[in-house]
């Protein structure tokens, strides 16, 4: 068994004259949660679908659990679970029946009720798929992906359309899966999701990986400025130093040296007896890094293939 | 699990799904009977013609029309793409659908025949039963494979009913299904014979009325053979053009 669950070298995919993926290198270790981030049209879906075996590549080397996904080998499909953005299940079967059906495709499936419990659908066990809410249907999607007890699970935007508590539940579920030793390849639009779940992230823009690493190290390497924000009520009170932006008594400043700035600011406030309301010191987040890396390259034209539209979401 | 047992397993789940949608199931069965009653009422009680004609129609409905529409729908919903990502062999999934469609065709023909026996005094001869069964099975297999091939020409689920009806309805009218072609100009059955529907219809007529066709055992082998050839055409087209991905 190889140490890399996924290994990609110089992956390229063109659609006619459009080069959607332009030389992607990726390595995903066994047992890690890896998140691929990127704006719509950056080549994210194309990359994931090549790894899943749903699309062919133009060139490059791809190995998924030691197999080339393009060959569509059953031996590989038995070891991976795929949760796509837009996939339906048989609408008239119950949750338990759908999972039972998909279990039968795999040599070593997980027990039905265990899967149902992992995704939190125990109470909906005997409810038909078309009677589930959107979030519950998404959980059923994940349940179907887990039916074969896969070593590697692809999750394409698993929490899109979830309410905040459902998202937390899904995060817990993904963490439980990792605890079971599964490798998880995640794509998401939510930076907090990637920051919370992923051991490593890669950001793809214009068909290329522009940054890769653990979320914390990406943040550290990307933006070093910390933002200090506060609010004063006393008229005419101006904080010391330059660079404060003021609006209606609210001050904000981005700084590379937050310790010194805060020392000066709080010293000034004490001396002049100024109350610093809503004083916050904000570290840059993965989202800031992401916006910085992708903002300039916000694509006007889509690099995704024109067919297979993703705009219309028709499930069941 | 072997491909055969996976296929049979798919049939079981297809069947479970089918009966869970009572409206769809009811009208699938009511449709041929409705046509049988309407046509025999409209065009005099030429039941010797209409019972086998509607039996052929049932085979076409179950195999071609229903399969083309439901597979297009499943493709649009992403069910097919999801299956493609699992180890289930494609042949087991499609085979499961074809076998289920064939079972439905058998059930429909049984119902139409029993209805004909009960209300229109149609004779069921045990001598021609093998011919009826072979015609039915070959017809169901052929029209199922053509139904799967048809999905390649259906851009999306919304377009499935018009596209499928546009291809099959004209043939049903000119192929001795809805109306006997006795009074039609000579060239019309010749045109119809370029397609598989009339061959199935004639083979079915022979299985019900062996004397009129001079086939004592009811086997109209030429017609059955041509229907089977169309089945091969359907398989080749389906293998070449079938799509597992939603296409809009």
Segment A44-65, tens digit of pLDDT: 989 999 999 999 999 999 999 9
b/e code A207-217 from CB counts within 10 Å (16+ = b): bbbebbbebee
Write out the residues of chain A at the interface with chain B, using a CB-CB cutoff of 8 A. 52-54, 74, 77-78, 80, 82, 84, 86-93, 97, 101-102, 104-106, 128, 144, 148, 307-309, 312, 314-316
Provide the pLDDT for residue A150.
Answer: 95
Question: Is A307 or B91 the better-scoring residue by pLDDT?
Answer: B91
Task: Split chain B (248 residues) into runs of 10 and give each run's mean pLDDT.
Answer: 92 94 87 91 81 94 94 93 94 95 95 90 83 95 96 93 94 92 88 94 92 85 95 93 86
Nearest alpha carbon to residue A87 among A175, A169, A155: A155
Structure token pair of residue A312: 């219309």
Q: What is the mean pLDDT of chain A?
A: 85
Which chain B residue is nearest to residue A86, measuring alpha carbons? B78
Residue A270, number of CB atoms within 10 A of its CB: 10
Selecting from A53, A90, A307 the residue whose C-beta is nearest the C-beta of B79 gives A90
Segment A270-288, tens digit of pLDDT: 888 888 888 888 877 777 7
SS (H, E, C) A191-253: HHHHHHHCCEEEEEECCEEEEEECHHHHHHHHCCCEEEEEECCCCCCCCCCCCCEEECCEEEE
Q: Which residues of A touch B246 (CB under 8 A)?
A: 86, 308, 314
Nearest alpha carbon to residue B103 among B25, B217, B155, B172: B25
Q: CA angle at residue A11 from A8 to A15, to 5 degrees?
A: 145
- The answer, yes or no, to whether residue A315 has pLDDT greater than 60, is no
Ranking A74-83, A137-146, A272-281, A295-304 by mean pLDDT, the lowest is A295-304
Q: Given the structure tokens 């009677």, which residue do they identify?
A: A131
Distance of CA B215 to the CA centre of its chain: 23
A244 vs chain B: nearest CA distance in angstroms? 53
Provide the pLDDT for residue A197.
Answer: 93
Asked whether the beta carbons of residue B79 and residue A89 sit closer than 8 angstroms, the reply is: yes
Output DSSP code: residue A109.
Answer: P
Selecting from B16, B77, B81 the residue whose C-beta is nearest the C-beta of A316 gives B77
- The answer, yes or no, to whether residue A94 has pLDDT greater than 80, is yes
CA B123 vs CA A70, A206, B47, B49, B233: distances in Å: 57, 72, 10, 12, 34
Provide the pLDDT for residue A236.
Answer: 66
Asked whether the beta carbons of residue B85 and residue A309 sit closer than 8 angstroms, the reply is: no
CA A229 vs CA A120, A222, A235, A267, A283: distances in Å: 41, 21, 17, 16, 12
- Which residues touch B204 (CB under 8 Å, ≥6 apart)? B52, B53, B55, B56, B59, B132, B135, B136, B139
Check if the beta carbon of residue B99 is closer than 8 Å to that of residue B184: no
Length of chain A: 316
Provide the pLDDT for residue A111.
Answer: 95
A73 vs chain B: nearest CA distance in angstroms? 8
Provide the pLDDT for residue A233.
Answer: 73
> Which of B72, B85, B246 to mutate to probe the A interface, most A CBs <10 Å?
B85
b/e code B14-43 from CB counts within 10 Å (16+ = b): beebbebeeeeeeebbebbbebbeebbeee
When pLDDT is averaged across residues A10-22 and rounded to a whole number, the result is 92
CA B210 vs CA A205, A293, B176: distances in Å: 71, 79, 17
How sure is the predictor about A173, in pLDDT bands with cuts at 50, 70 and 90?
confident
Asked whether the beta carbons of residue A84 and residue B85 sit closer than 8 angstroms, the reply is: yes
Structure token pair of residue B143: 């029209």
How sure is the predictor about A14, in pLDDT bands with cuts at 50, 70 and 90?
very high
Provide the pLDDT for residue B1.
Answer: 73
Q: Which residues of A touch B245 (CB under 8 A)?
A: 54, 308
Provide the pLDDT for residue A41.
Answer: 84
Q: Which residues of A touch B76 (CB under 8 A)?
A: 314
B20 vs chain A: nearest CA distance in angstroms? 6
Provide the pLDDT for residue B217.
Answer: 86
Strand-pairing partners, residue A19, are A14
Provide the pLDDT for residue A247.
Answer: 81
Output DSSP code: residue B82.
Answer: H
> Which of B86, B97, B244, B246 to mutate to probe the A interface, most A CBs <10 Å?
B86
Q: Which residues of B touch A104 (CB under 8 A)?
A: 1, 6, 9
Provide the pLDDT for residue A311.
Answer: 37
Q: Which residues of B touch A150 (CB under 8 A)?
A: none
CA A287 vs CA A161, A192, A222, A293, B4: distances in Å: 19, 7, 11, 10, 51
Host H or E run for residue B27: helix B22-42
Residue B121, number of CB atoms within 10 A of its CB: 10
When pLDDT is averaged across residues A78-86 and rounded to a whole number, the result is 91
d(CA A279, CA B79): 52
d(CA B180, CA B211): 18
Q: Which residues of A touch B17 (CB under 8 A)?
A: 90-93
Provide the pLDDT for residue B146.
Answer: 96
Write out the residues of chain B at the interface with chain A, using a CB-CB cutoff of 8 A. 1, 6, 9, 13, 16-17, 20-21, 74, 76-79, 81-82, 84-89, 245-248
Provide the pLDDT for residue A234.
Answer: 66
Provide the pLDDT for residue A299.
Answer: 45
Q: Which residues of B touch A315 (CB under 8 A)?
A: 77-78
What ipTM was predicted for this assembly?
Answer: 0.89
């Amino acid at each position: 068994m190889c140490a890399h669950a996924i290994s990609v070298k110089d992956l390229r995919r063109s659609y006619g004259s459009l080069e959607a993926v332009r030389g992607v290198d990726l390595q995903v270790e066994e047992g890690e949660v890896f998140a691929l981030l990127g704006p719509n049209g950056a080549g994210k879906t194309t990359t994931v679908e090549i790894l899943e075996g749903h699309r062919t590549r133009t060139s490059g080397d791809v190995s998924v659990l030691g197999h080339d996904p393009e060959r569509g080998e059953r031996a590989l499909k038995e070891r991976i679970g795929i949760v796509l953005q837009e996939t339906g299940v048989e609408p008239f079967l119950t949750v338990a029946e759908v999972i039972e059906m998909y279990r039968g495709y795999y040599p070593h499936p997980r027990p039905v009720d265990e899967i149902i419990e992992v995704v939190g659908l125990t109470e909906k066990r005997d409810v038909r798929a078309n009677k589930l809410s959107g979030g519950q249907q998404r959980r059923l999607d994940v349940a179907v992906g887990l039916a074969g007890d896969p070593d590697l699970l692809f999750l394409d935007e698993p929490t899109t359309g979830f309410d905040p508590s459902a998202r937390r539940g899904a995060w817990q579920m993904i963490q439980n899966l990792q605890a079971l030793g599964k490798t998880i390849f995640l794509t998401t639009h939510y930076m907090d999701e990637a920051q919370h779940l992923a051991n490593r992230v890669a950001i793809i823009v214009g068909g290329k990986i522009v940054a890769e690493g653990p979320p914390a190290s990406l943040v550290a390497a990307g933006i070093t400025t910390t933002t200090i924000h506060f609010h004063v009520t006393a008229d005419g009170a101006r904080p010391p130093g330059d660079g404060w932006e003021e609006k209606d008594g609210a001050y904000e400043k981005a700084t590379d040296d937050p310790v010194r700035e805060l020392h000066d600011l709080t010293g000034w406030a004490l001396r002049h007896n100024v109350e610093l309301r809503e004083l916050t010191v904000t570290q840059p987040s993965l989202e800031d890094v992401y916006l910085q890396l992708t903002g300039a390259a916000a694509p006007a034209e889509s690099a995704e293939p024109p067919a297979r539209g993703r705009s219309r979401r028709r499930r069941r | 699990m072997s491909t055969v047992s996976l296929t049979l397993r798919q049939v079981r789940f297809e069947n479970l799904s089918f009966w869970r949608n009572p409206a769809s199931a009811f009208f699938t069965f009511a449709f041929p009977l409705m046509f049988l009653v309407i046509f025999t009422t409209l065009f005099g009680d030429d039941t010797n013609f209409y019972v086998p004609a509607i039996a052929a129609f049932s085979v076409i409905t179950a195999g071609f029309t229903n399969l083309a529409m439901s597979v297009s729908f499943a493709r649009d919903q992403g069910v097919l793409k999801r299956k493609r990502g699992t180890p289930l062999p494609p042949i087991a999934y499609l085979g499961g659908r074809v076998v289920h469609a064939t079972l439905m065709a058998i059930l429909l023909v049984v119902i139409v025949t029993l209805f004909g026996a009960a209300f229109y005094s149609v004779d069921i001869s045990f001598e021609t039963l093998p011919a009826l069964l072979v015609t039915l099975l070959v017809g169901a297999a052929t029209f199922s494979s053509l139904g799967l091939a048809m999905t390649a020409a259906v851009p999306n689920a919304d377009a499935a009913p018009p596209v499928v009806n546009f291809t099959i309805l004209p043939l049903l009218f000119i192929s001795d299904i809805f109306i006997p072609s006795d009074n039609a100009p000579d060239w019309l059955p010749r045109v119809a014979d370029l397609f598989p529907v009339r061959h199935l219809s004639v083979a079915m007529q022979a299985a019900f009325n062996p004397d009129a066709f001079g086939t004592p055992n009811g086997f109209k082998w030429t017609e059955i053979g041509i229907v089977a050839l169309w089945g091969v055409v359907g398989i080749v087209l389906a293998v070449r053009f079938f799509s597992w991905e939603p296409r809009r």
